[in-house]
Structure 1
Amino acid sequence: MFRKDLEAKKRHHYVWAEYLARWGCGTKNVFYTTKTGKIAHDSVRAIVADDYFYKINMLTTKHVEVIKGFSRQSPDHLHQQHMLYLNDFLMMQQAETIYRESGIQNQKAEQHLHAMKCNLLENLHASHEKKAFPVLAALADERLDVLQDKQHMIEFMAFFGHQISRTKTFRDRVIQVQPRSNAMEIEVADAMAHAWWFLSYMFGMSIGLSLYVDRHNARHALLVNDTRVPFITSDHPVVNVHSCVSETEFSAPKHADFYYPISPRVAYIICDSERFTSGKNEVDEATVVELNTKVAAQAMVHIIGDTNSVIQTFKRYIGRRYQKAP
């Protein structure tokens, strides 16, 4: 029997399974679209996950240069925070290098190294999920006052930022739009792809802090849906629904209304626009349809709902934002 620290976590969810279970009507089973475009009804454990998605790999000097280049665009205090995290990973990498160069082979050491590479980043995301759990539970019950607690707001914004940057959809689209017109651009794009496991966490830290610092300027609202059309979610659950976002191509928008469905009935939105007022907002069916359409348009494969009919209605919009306009 292996000790717990020797057990490598293989299946990595990039959208939290416990979150998706809110669409399970009291079970773990939800309706969702498959890779072949069909509708399935199965456990949340089966979707929005890849084997070893957050597994750490070795970083060369070039990879570290690219990471630092992106990090330096952040405020100095945040850059320092990024570097503390990076140094922790580099120390682990250095320990492995010393072990490899020793020529010694030890089964327990090999298992421990493999487990660390598979588990460290996955465990970091799990810690954010654990801290956000009571906040999400309160918001699902329409208790917006939970965010009057400063620590709850810090933890929710950290979770929120990572839920934007940690998905497969975000990874693939960001890497896809990197310029590759010369040798240096190709080198940077390749380095980004290799080091994405760290970059995605770093970007999530930056987004979360930015949302927290700006919390008194943006409008934070709870959307309550009592219509006959439930909210859906997806494999990229936080989406920018601001009117400036292109419906047909993936490009950086100037403004953001970050929309996050929490259950079939409740959603959270952080607005640059004045579309919703701070606090609770009842939404009509036309608004729900619009928001569901935008969730589907920014999904890669899976939209998730609590009924077959709602998935059937919106599945034709899946991935529409990533299809270039003719």
Structure 2
Amino acid sequence: MPRNEFDAKKRHHYVWASYLTRWGRGTKNVFYTTKTGRIAHDSVRGIVVDDFFYKITPLSHKQIAVIKGYSRLSPGHLQRHHVSYLNDFLKMQHAEAAYRKSGIRMPEVELHLHALKCNLLENLHASHEKMAIPVLSALAGERLDVLLDKQHMIEFMAFFGHQISRTKTFRDCVIQAQPRRNATEIEMADAMAHAWWFLSYMFGMNIGFSLYSDRHNARHALLINETSVPFITSDQPVVNVHVCVSETVFTAPEHSDLYYPISPRVAYIICDSERFVRGRNEVDEATVVELNTKVAAQAMTHIIGDYENSIAPFQKYIGRRYQKAPFDQV
């Protein structure tokens, strides 16, 4: 049944539930690690989800200034996109402020405002997911030629960028990495945390554009796993598996091999390195184990697989990158 305008979406998945079902063996149930260190088997509807994770909150002048400051680091055409999206959200904020100032309270208006705050950003992510469906289906079927279509590549890179920036894992890492050595830095870090709902979308947009514009330089490859060790995924589905990524300090790496498992058998990678050739690559068991280990090390809580014994060997690595040393910078 279609939602009406007053229906607020409460349960916000920061990793797409439909994506996770590829580890469900034809069902919606997957094996995953819990916050308490157990391995559970349950529906994807109950994991990598927080209530109101993408809910819009009012932006102060300081928070808007922080957003615009980060935006100015981007190419001009992206800055214009950022401002356009930001203005749309601010129009809603100003309209609500005028309504509050009027002193009038109308139940239908209250419901509508709440639904807008809960749904607008969630719906933006859903639109990227919808456009990526045919690409992901083709890639899962080992048909890399789907990306010869320019529009498909644009939509997939936009989706890919947001798979990096939209997660709780990415948010918590970035916020924790902000310096808080004096009042100015504390104010900046707090403003960034409060404006994160917009910044995360803006960063995803930038990452997606960068990946698309650099597509002829980086190596885009499909990894095919025919070994007895399946690919796993996590609460941070895209991870950097380049050898330069530190396993002891959370610092900004100089290079990236961005790895995205699509199913227990198929993964996609965008490489700065020359480790894989463009196109189809069959990987051996040692490579699968290495990639799964790095997925676990860059997960915060959940690794996800199609069988319990697919994730159990990697459980000890969960969060390793974030636990060995203090955060330095992102």
Q: TM-score, normalised by structure 1?
A: 0.99
* SS of residue paired to 2:42: strand
CA distance in 2, matches of 1:80, 1:94: 20
Runs of at least 5 residues in structure 2 that lack an aligned partner in the other structure: none
User: In 2 relative to 1, CA 3–307 (structure 1 residues): closer, same or farther, beyond 3 Å?
Assistant: closer
Shift of 1:248: 1.9
Amino acid aligned to 1:286: A
* SS of residue paired to 1:78: helix
- Check the 8 A contact 2:165/2:201 in 1, yes or no: yes
The answer for the alignment partner of 1:88 in structure 2 is: 88
The answer for the alignment partner of 2:222 in structure 1 is: 222
Shift of 1:324: 2.7
The answer for the alignment partner of 2:108 in structure 1 is: 108
The answer for the alignment partner of 1:295 in structure 2 is: 295
Matches within 5 A, 1:255-274: 255-274=255-274
CA distance in 2, matches of 1:229, 1:42: 21
Shift of 1:71: 0.5
* SS of residue paired to 2:286: helix
- Check the 8 A contact 2:240/2:259 in 1, yes or no: yes
The answer for the alignment partner of 1:146 in structure 2 is: 146
The answer for the alignment partner of 2:162 in structure 1 is: 162
CA distance in 2, matches of 1:116, 1:2: 16
User: In 2 relative to 1, CA 124–3 (structure 1 residues): closer, same or farther, beyond 3 Å?
Assistant: closer
The answer for the alignment partner of 2:67 in structure 1 is: 67
CA distance in 2, matches of 1:210, 1:224: 26
1:264-310 per-residue CA deviation (whole Å, 9 max, x = no partner) reads 00000000000000000000000000000000000000000001101
The answer for the alignment partner of 1:241 in structure 2 is: 241
The answer for the alignment partner of 2:31 in structure 1 is: 31
1:51-93 per-residue CA deviation (whole Å, 9 max, x = no partner) reads 0000000001110000000000001111111110000000010
Say if 2:182 is the partner of 1:182: yes
CA distance in 2, matches of 1:62, 1:40: 43
The answer for the alignment partner of 2:324 in structure 1 is: 324
* SS of residue paired to 1:30: strand
Identity of aligned residues (%): 77
1:4-24 per-residue CA deviation (whole Å, 9 max, x = no partner) reads 110000000000000000000
The answer for the alignment partner of 2:120 in structure 1 is: 120
User: In 2 relative to 1, CA 65–265 (structure 1 residues): closer, same or farther, beyond 3 Å?
Assistant: same
User: In 2 relative to 1, CA 2–215 (structure 1 residues): closer, same or farther, beyond 3 Å?
Assistant: closer
CA distance in 1, matches of 2:185, 2:84: 27
CA RMSD of aligned residues (A): 1.2
Q: TM-score, normalised by structure 2?
A: 0.97
* SS of residue paired to 1:5: coil
1:102-124 per-residue CA deviation (whole Å, 9 max, x = no partner) reads 10000000000000000000000
Shift of 1:3: 6.4
- After TM superposition, which residue ranges in structure 1, 4 or more long, deviate above 6 angstroms? none
Runs of at least 5 residues in structure 1 that lack an aligned partner in the other structure: none
CA distance in 2, matches of 1:4, 1:281: 46
- Check the 8 A contact 2:234/2:304 in 1, yes or no: yes
Shift of 1:182: 1.1
The answer for the alignment partner of 2:19 in structure 1 is: 19
Shift of 1:325: 3.9
1:90-148 per-residue CA deviation (whole Å, 9 max, x = no partner) reads 00101101100010000000000000000000000000000001100000000000000
* SS of residue paired to 1:132: helix
Amino acid aligned to 1:217: N
* SS of residue paired to 1:291: helix
* SS of residue paired to 1:4: coil
The answer for the alignment partner of 1:173 in structure 2 is: 173
Shift of 1:233: 0.1
Aligned residues: 326
Shift of 1:311: 1.2
CA distance in 2, matches of 1:93, 1:66: 17
* SS of residue paired to 1:6: coil
Shift of 1:249: 2.2
* SS of residue paired to 2:68: helix
Say if 2:6 is the partner of 1:6: yes
Shift of 1:225: 0.1
CA distance in 1, matches of 2:184, 2:85: 26
Shift of 1:2: 11
